Amino acid sequence: MRGQYEHYNILPLYALGVKPAIMELPEIKAAIDAICRVDNLPIPVIRARPDGSNDDSTMPMDRLKKVNDILDWIASVVGFQKGNVANQREHLILLLANMNIRNSAESTNQLHAETVEKLMATIFKNYKSWCDYLHCESNLRFLEDYDKQQMELIYIALYLLIWGEASNIRFMPECLCYIFHHMSREIYTILFETVTGSKEQLEGRDDEFFLREVISPIYQVLMKEAKRNNKGKASHSNWRNYDDLNEYFWSNKCFHDLSWPLNSKADFFRHSDETHETARRGRSQATIGVYKRKSKTNFVEVRTFLHLYRSFDRMWIFFILALQAMIIIAWSSLGPVGVFFNSDAFENVMTIFITYAFLRFLQATLDIILTWNALRNMKFTQLLRYFLKFVVAAIWVVVLPICYSKSLQNPSGIIKFFTKWAGEWYALFQEPNN
């Protein structure tokens, strides 16, 4: 009677007796038949534990793993939990059924080839973009003289199982791409060795292997960094969020540093708590430096109202320049049209370009100040961009007021100051060398 009360979401895959109406739909049957083709896959062997017991058997001996479909096979090879496999099995069947019925007006008991190809393109769009960005070759490879549709379904099922068991790590899409990149290569190697006959026996893994060896170490980093934010009161420069950790996988460095299987001594796993613990034990400063916490990458948010100007600088510049021009025109007795035909009034309106230069200089300065904590981690090209932007803005701040003051016959106020300062600066360079 246990089979009648098996938990399910939409599809009662394990229901006994008369099957529900949804299980009789042709597209559902086609999807189930497609993922149940496992005759040509190597059956993994579950090794007996040292204590003489296994997960689902107390027999102290090696045994072949029972495989019902592609997801069962992947779970046995990689080590996914049973609940995750059940959820993603239903997920994959519904995805295939929905896409299959869209591709054909008539319902058939066979899965169309373009159905799996379109699902592949949808699911792996981000993965292919990630590979292109890092200039690395995609691991979505296929064997000759092998069932291509089956390999496509294996890759799709593998990604869904990784996503389903990733928990909070699924908010780091490039991290999932990194995990899938290496695990898909393992799957391809297994199938290649099966076809060539270079490996006779495939060793399976327990249900918690992926959770224990891949997800838990990364989640521990997330948990430690989340604790450092002091309930949202700590400065953003003192802890790393999802985006900061995910940016680690935006560089080829992750392949060499983190490697596969995951290297526990990689920069990604550095944390300041280890530094304090090492110092407490009295180790040398050189040793402490090895465990220094990995800092932020490209952006460190600073809590200040200046972000209102920096984030919307174009809008503020437009409003300030428009206000300045309207005040000058309103103060003049010539009217909005006559201003442009009077040289003195028109020169006053031209001061908006000086104001624009100062506002751009302010924006370039704020860029440096508000990203100061992340400057040491930026690339040389990024640092050069900030520096050149500041220098060019500073040059215009000096050049425009001087040129404007030179064009006036009787300057006053700040214009007179710039005129006098420019004259003294020019006279200084005109003096003969001693």
Write the pLDDT tens digit of every residue in 215-245: 988 888 887 777 776 666 555 555 566 677 7
Same domain, 286 and 330: no
In a domain, 15, yes or no: yes
Tell me which of 162, 190, 217 is where a domain ends: 217
Same domain, 199 and 255: no
Same domain, 345 and 406: yes
pLDDT band at 92 (very low <50, low <70, confident <90, very high): very high
Same domain, 251 and 389: no
Same domain, 98 and 141: yes
Same domain, 207 and 237: no
Q: What is the pLDDT of residue 249?
A: 85
In a domain, 295, yes or no: no
In a domain, 298, yes or no: no
Q: What is the mean pLDDT of residues 370-398?
A: 79
In a domain, 109, yes or no: yes
pLDDT digit string (tens) for 123-165? 999 999 999 988 889 999 998 878 888 899 999 999 999 999 9
Same domain, 362 and 321: yes
Q: What is the pLDDT of residue 27?
A: 86
**Between residues 49 and 173, which one has the greater pLDDT?**
173
Residue 368 pLDDT greater than 60, yes or no: yes
Tally of domains within the chain: 3
Backbone angles phi, psi at 207, to 5 degrees: -65, -20
In a domain, 414, yes or no: yes
Q: What is the pLDDT of residue 224?
A: 78
Count other Cβ atoms within 10 Å, centred on residue 382. 14
Same domain, 246 and 284: yes
Same domain, 55 and 86: yes
Same domain, 110 and 85: yes
pLDDT band at 177 (very low <50, low <70, confident <90, very high): very high
In a domain, 163, yes or no: yes
In a domain, 356, yes or no: yes
Same domain, 233 and 261: yes
Residue type, position 325, single letter: A
In a domain, 286, yes or no: yes
What is the average pLDDT value for the chain, to the nearest integer?
Answer: 76
Q: What is the mean pLDDT of residues 268-277?
A: 56
Same domain, 213 and 273: no
Pairing of strands 63-64, 44-46: antiparallel
Give me the domain span that covers residue 265: 228-290
Give residues with Cβ within 8 angstroms of 171, minimum separation 6. 242, 246
